Amino acid sequence: MKVKSLTLILILVLVFSLTFTVSAQKKTLRVSWWGSQTRHDQTLKIIEMFEEKYPNINIEPEYTGWSGYWDKLFAQAAGDNLPDVLQHVRKYFGTWVEEDRLLDLEPYVKDGTLSTKNIPDSVMDLGRYKGKLVGMPLGVNAITTIYNPDLLEKAGLDKKINPDWTWQDMIKMSKKISDELKIWSTIGLLKDDLGHLQIWLRQNGASLYNDEGTGLGYEDNQLFVEFFEMEKELLDYGAVAPLGLRRELVHTVEEDPITDGTAAMTTQRWSNQFVAITAAAGDFGDEFKMTTVPSKKDGEKGLFVKASQHFAVSKNTEHPEAAMKFINFFTHNLEAQKVMMGERGVPISTKIQKALRPELNKTQQKVFDYLELARKHAGPARKSMPPGHEQVSDLFQDTFYKVLYEQYTPEEGAKHFRTEVKKILAE
């Protein structure tokens, strides 16, 4: 009996020891992202799949909508408590690299820990800032115009929008939609986050920043004035949403007025958001289509294709190899990509793109097709944004609404923006 008891004790000790060893070897990664409910659900599913394949890695998800995401990250950065893997955007790389917050991924590419197989160099370059690889692109996308063909037809317009249309075409269409259907054309003609301003400047042969990143890349303030005059024309006409309501709707994809038929178009979205827009619209969203942002008559190509988001890794992560495994799984695993089906943009791997094509539904096919259209109408890739771009973006949004609320004239807004940008970049 004593022998049996001793044997049992030894077995229990062995089991406990093995359990403790496995537990001790298990790594925990905090992963953060922003997005719609569709993206949250998809990402949580992919995390389940990853943990099943890598049982020694536990993922703690941290997710929210766009609003508040960056405030939270900056607070975490200040407290030296960043997530291990964080969804990021190229336009904010400057500040984060200068503050040495992000891990350089290049050594992990060179030793094969982070795979770039079947990813074009031009796509990987979207994750670089001043030659340093700080983000793995998760997909590619472009600003788009999403529209409801049935509502256009009811307003007496063509059901299909020509991708060569101009801003003036858009303004005329918007007024006709408002007159005929008594609904909004769109939330607002122009984005309040610098996206459309950059396109407008590029169409006029200019850029947001100069090559040195020390000031604006355009000398003529009239470009800024003309940009706002287009918006004010539609706002004064009543063809777009009132400003108070607009600020509530513009950053909430599922509540875009196109989803319930109170607007015929949306000009505020990126191509990868088409999936969430159509899902929120229900059955009638199946007919939605996409086309390019309006062009400037006789102007240059202003549209640009970019990385939809990146996964960056905190400089202070204790588990860089585990982080690379997670990123590899997210970008190269076909089953994981089947869960997303283009929601984070067209996949960066050419092999994945080819494998997904036969399985795309009607909505997903439109996203892939639009990227092909966008590339034909796009100019060169955007330049890297200098440190301070976050503050410039905030400044622009503040100026945007002050001009539309008529606290500034467009001319005053242009001067204020130029003066404050110079101060921000000088610091």
d(CA 135, CA 275): 24
For the stretch 279-333, pLDDT in tens is 999 988 999 999 999 999 999 999 999 999 999 999 999 999 999 999 999 999 9
Please report the pLDDT score of residue 13 as a whole number: 44
Per-residue CA distances from 243 to 96, 233, 236, 250, 404 (Å): 32, 13, 11, 10, 8
Say if residue 114 is in the same domain as residue 153: no
C-alpha closest to that of 145 among 176, 172, 167: 167
For the stretch 104-148, pLDDT in tens is 999 999 999 999 999 999 899 999 988 899 999 999 999 999 999
- Note whether 82 and 76 are within 8 A (CB): yes
Q: Tell whether 285 is covered by a domain.
A: yes
- Note whether 42 and 339 are within 8 A (CB): yes
Say if residue 401 is in the same domain as residue 275: yes
Tokens of 293: 């942002």
Q: Tell whether 7 is covered by a domain.
A: no
Please report the pLDDT score of residue 22 as a whole number: 43
d(CA 100, CA 96): 6
- For residue 183, the domain's CATH number is 3.40.190.10
Say if residue 411 is in the same domain as residue 274: yes
Q: Tell whether 382 is covered by a domain.
A: no
Rg (CA), the chain: 24
| Whether the predicted pLDDT of 234 surpasses 90 | yes
Say if residue 185 is in the same domain as residue 290: yes
Please report the pLDDT score of residue 7 as a whole number: 52
C-alpha closest to that of 293 among 142, 192, 152, 135: 142
Q: Characterize the bridge pairing of strands 27-34 and 57-64.
A: parallel
Tokens of 69: 């995401």
Say if residue 237 is in the same domain as residue 362: no
- Proportion of the chain above pLDDT 70, given as a percent: 94
Say if residue 95 is in the same domain as residue 194: no
Say if residue 61 is in the same domain as residue 177: no
Give the residue with greater pLDDT, 167 vs 67: 167
Q: Tell whether 343 is covered by a domain.
A: yes
CB neighbour list of residue 339: distance below 8 Å, 6 or more residues apart: 42, 45, 46, 49
Say if residue 193 is in the same domain as residue 260: yes
The stretch 190-214 carries a mean pLDDT of 94
- Segment 330-335 long-range contacts (CB within 8 Å, at least 24 positions apart): 330/46, 330/50, 330/138, 331/115, 331/119, 331/136, 331/138, 332/115, 332/117, 332/118, 333/49, 335/49
Q: Tell whether 18 is covered by a domain.
A: no
Categorize the per-residue pLDDT at 367 as very low, low, confident or very high, splitting at 50, 70 and 90. Answer: very high
- Note whether 221 and 210 are within 8 A (CB): no
- Note whether 323 and 84 are within 8 A (CB): yes
d(CA 398, CA 162): 33
d(CA 267, CA 129): 29
Categorize the per-residue pLDDT at 5 as very low, low, confident or very high, splitting at 50, 70 and 90. Answer: low
Say if residue 297 is in the same domain as residue 151: yes
Q: Tell whether 3 is covered by a domain.
A: no
| Whether the predicted pLDDT of 3 surpasses 60 | no
Q: Output phi, psi for 102, to 5 deg.
A: -115, 145
Say if residue 347 is in the same domain as residue 392: no
Say if residue 152 is in the same domain as residue 246: yes
For the stretch 380-401, pLDDT in tens is 888 888 999 989 999 999 999 9
For 62, the domain range is 26-139+308-377
| Whether the predicted pLDDT of 251 surpasses 80 | no
Say if residue 352 is in the same domain as residue 373: yes
d(CA 321, CA 85): 11
Tokens of 84: 């291990």
Q: Tell whether 163 is covered by a domain.
A: yes
Please report the pLDDT score of residue 21 as a whole number: 44
Please report the pLDDT score of residue 346 as a whole number: 93
| Whether the predicted pLDDT of 20 surpasses 50 | no
How many C-beta atoms surround the C-beta of residue 408 within 10 A? 19
The stretch 151-158 carries a mean pLDDT of 98
Please report the pLDDT score of residue 182 as a whole number: 97
Q: Tell whether 122 is covered by a domain.
A: yes
Please report the pLDDT score of residue 130 as a whole number: 84
> How buried is 404 (Cβ within 10 angstroms: 0-12 exposed, 13-18 middle, 19+ buried)?
buried
How many domains does the chain fold into?
2
